[in-house]
């Protein structure tokens, strides 16, 4: 299993190349909610597990 890093705000960082189909925290398998984090300056897509709320920061910038 790939290394998972969890920051102070609970965001989990995981390399995109490792794939992300299942929540590593609770095992939920049916996909993720999407939100956008603008707190770091550049808007970034964050995936959120709909079951346990774990956040996944995929280093995935977006223009809004």
Residues forming contacts to Zn ion in the complex (CB under 5 A) are 23, 25-26, 28, 49, 51-52, 54
| Tokens standing for residue 31 | 């996909």
Spatial CB neighbours of 15, under 8 Å, sequence gap ≥ 6: 2
Measured from the CB atom, the residue of 34 and 52 that comes closer to Zn ion is: 52
Shortest Cβ 62–Zn ion spacing (Å): 22
Shortest Cβ 27–Zn ion spacing (Å): 7
Q: SS3 of 40, please?
A: coil
Shortest Cβ 38–Zn ion spacing (Å): 23
Q: Taking a C-beta distance cutoff of 8 angstroms, is the pair 43, 61 a contact?
A: yes
């Amino acid at each position: 299993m790939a290394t998972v890093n969890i920051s102070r705000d609970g965001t989990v960082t995981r390399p995109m190349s490792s794939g992300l189909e299942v929540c590593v925290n609770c095992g939920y398998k049916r996909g993720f909610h999407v939100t956008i984090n603008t707190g770091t300056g550049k808007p970034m897509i964050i995936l959120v597990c709909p079951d346990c709320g774990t956040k996944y920061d995929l280093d995935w910038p977006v223009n809004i």
